[in-house]
Structure 1
């Protein structure tokens, strides 16, 4: 008997994955690849949309004809800030521009001068509008730099919705993609910003459909896709009953608070705060800190100085007495301002590094935590396994329960859970989240 499954395409900037989940959201099968890039008309590296399209079609055909699986539904999660532009026949007519591509200063100034200035626009759209990371500005650039191409665009689809379109879904927009630092969405009005309408950008974007929209294509239910960060939050929203903040730790440490509806202030925007939108259409206030990157660089520096392996920090136990002595010796600062030679050994230096780092992390998290009634902070990713980080974070937030909590393949599981009622007749399993207090 074939196993009933949902197929999820989880498309990251580097890794592209297809996962099959059974009715209990256990991974039955996984394929992961890294696809070659191409360049745009300026020679800047970008996703090769033709190669990506061919891979999605090939993998879908493979699992749909594999006798081991009864594929009941397919959904998608992909990185944001990426439009695929189609003509009236549904053909791709432009590169999938890289969100790291530098943005022309003169055009950005023209945009600001036309619509009230950088501060007001950033506050209203809950994102920093200064580069191609805002997909709305990518369309604005096309209009003014390539007007003939812009005129030929029938639909501009964010990448998750394009992947659905490839397999027969309708041209659609989704609120999680529309609201992810695009500059398109006015979080004060909860509608497209007026610049989007005045520039005719809204006419290039299909109607926004509910995130759990799906239609029958052949024998399967096909979803319209989600922005990956919003998708990764869904398992927590569906299984955690009390208000929470999720601290996702990696190269970037991102504090996501789905229970803070207050508008972002100018000060918060200047400290790298932004808003996402949940799959239910609610604002998710977020703050970012480059803490994982800083930890990696400084741990390597300590390892070189003390002649230890690069991952020696994994063996360091939390010494609370040592932390107290270090705190009494001096206030937190940037660890770069300290010399490894100040410390007698690796363990002492590493405890000082974590004191400095968690001090900054707590400040970043407070930006979106305070005043929201959140009772717990759920930490996932690399720092959730670091005893010193977890001890210091718990001490920084005595009013909340701080605990390690993770969902394996959270982005893909979220995209599957979004369509739960369309393909799975059972309850959402309680085992999805692993963690400890």
Structure 2
């Protein structure tokens, strides 16, 4: 007697981060039932700068998916992608890459950048129009300007330019599309007031390189040889990470997503950016429906890592000592009353928020590691409150969700609670939130779900 195994219907998601490349299977309740991941070493581009090994990534994804189609216990019925922003894949008419896939940390030639801003209204005006602080290659749209004038022979080969999440979708469907969440992540491409591509895109003739914009919950189909599975168009990872909260919560909230960067996201704030906000690293994303979402950024993860290393050296302590510390209200009250700041930041810029910073750090002035660490988190949380206030505005929002690495830092969370009275600070985490967001999108009913 033989028995046919009942297969579990699942949604497959490729979550392509800058470091880790992950593959997930989610069941119908969006619970993770399978995960695999890999990493790829960068390869030098034509200038010797590290670039994304797009061919190796493509081979791994196709091989991984074909293998998953053969799993006896799962039936893949949906597929989608999340990917990091500020990354373009430039292709020929057949979708084959014709340039390296440039890393967004690649230096942008300063004379060419100055030429661009002089041509299109100056840095401040352009940044305000496009909700994109001047970030060089991180303004991914400007890659095309760079290629047009610095590498014209390569530019002439380009027939299509797709952001990374949409290129991943193209690999499986053969259909080229553009998506609001990728267009709107500090690319310098979108005029937020006109709600259209910025004038420079058309004047430089790059608008015809972009495939048509499709809704983020558009459902395509994979190629027949890949199972003819319902397939999404891909989503920018930060926008994807927001979706599980929007899906679960009915009342307005702010999401503070922490890690290397602390990203304060207010999906209910569509107020225009001011020049002052831009200077404080505040910008806007486009939501899945093309509406602006105000966010602010703070480089707290990298700052925290650097300062902790200095403390460990000074006190000769083992790694991760700070994780054993508990919030001490007596020590906090002591350090909060210090008349001057006593830690010199390496990455953070308190003056942008009107906060003075010490000229140097004297670790010997602290009684011990515990006092020094409380001081560090006190000063970082001051900046975090200032950054959060940029997106909070005067909107009536009572809850702030903290997810990512700092949601497990008791000192950070308790200090936020003290410094933002009247707001509920909730430590929360949707593991693999970007991937889950992509899964939510491809499972939306296009005809009945209202994209907000």
| In structure 2, C-alpha distance between the alignment counterparts of 1:399 and 1:193, rounded to whole Å | 40
Report the TM-score when normalising by structure 1: 0.93
Residue 429 (structure 1) aligns with: none
| In structure 1, C-alpha distance between the alignment counterparts of 2:95 and 2:261, rounded to whole Å | 36
1:186–1:223 CA distance, 2 compared to 1 (3 A): same
Deviation, structure 1 residue 139: 0.7
Q: Is the 8 A contact 2:285 2:294 kept in 1?
A: yes
Residue 2 (structure 1) aligns with: 7
Which of 355, 360, 369 is the aligned partner of 1:346? 369
Residue 376 (structure 1) aligns with: 399
Deviation, structure 1 residue 120: 0.5
Residue 206 (structure 1) aligns with: 211
Deviation, structure 1 residue 64: 1.5
- In structure 2, stretches of 5+ residues that fail to align are 1-5, 346-359
Listed as ranges, the matches of 1:421-436 within 5 Å are 421=444
- RMSD over aligned CA atoms reads 1.7
| In structure 2, C-alpha distance between the alignment counterparts of 1:89 and 1:318, rounded to whole Å | 58
Deviations 1:86-132 (A, max 9, x none): 21223221111111111111211111111111110000101123411
User: Once structures 1 and 2 are overlaid, which stretch shifts more, 365-374 or 71-80?
Assistant: 365-374
Question: Are 1:392 and 2:412 matched, yes or no?
Answer: no
Residue 319 (structure 1) aligns with: 328
- In structure 1, stretches of 5+ residues that fail to align are 426-437
1:65–1:320 CA distance, 2 compared to 1 (3 A): same
Question: Are 1:407 and 2:416 matched, yes or no?
Answer: no
Deviations 1:7-40 (A, max 9, x none): 0000011111111111111111111000232222
| In structure 2, C-alpha distance between the alignment counterparts of 1:297 and 1:317, rounded to whole Å | 21
| In structure 1, C-alpha distance between the alignment counterparts of 2:53 and 2:195, rounded to whole Å | 33
Q: Is the 8 A contact 1:221 1:422 kept in 2?
A: no
| In structure 1, C-alpha distance between the alignment counterparts of 2:428 and 2:135, rounded to whole Å | 34
Residue 102 (structure 2) aligns with: 97
Deviation, structure 1 residue 210: 0.2
Q: Is the 8 A contact 2:231 2:442 kept in 1?
A: no
Listed as ranges, the matches of 1:41-60 within 5 Å are 41-60=46-65
Question: Are 1:30 and 2:35 matched, yes or no?
Answer: yes
Deviation, structure 1 residue 136: 0.9
Which of 70, 73, 79 is the aligned partner of 2:75? 70
Q: Is the 8 A contact 1:20 1:28 kept in 2?
A: yes
Which of 122, 145, 156 is the aligned partner of 1:140? 145
| In structure 2, C-alpha distance between the alignment counterparts of 1:194 and 1:324, rounded to whole Å | 53
| In structure 1, C-alpha distance between the alignment counterparts of 2:184 and 2:311, rounded to whole Å | 40
| In structure 2, C-alpha distance between the alignment counterparts of 1:255 and 1:90, rounded to whole Å | 36
1:346–1:334 CA distance, 2 compared to 1 (3 A): closer
Deviation, structure 1 residue 422: 5.3
Q: Is the 8 A contact 1:332 1:355 kept in 2?
A: no
Alignment: residue pair count: 424
1:349–1:145 CA distance, 2 compared to 1 (3 A): closer
Deviation, structure 1 residue 349: 1.8
SS in 1 for 2:173: coil
Which of 188, 192, 207 is the aligned partner of 1:187? 192
Q: Is the 8 A contact 1:272 1:287 kept in 2?
A: yes
Write out the 4+ residue segments of structure 1 that deviate beyond 3 Å after TM superposition.
331-338
Listed as ranges, the matches of 1:178-327 within 5 Å are 178-217=183-222, 218=224, 219-327=228-336
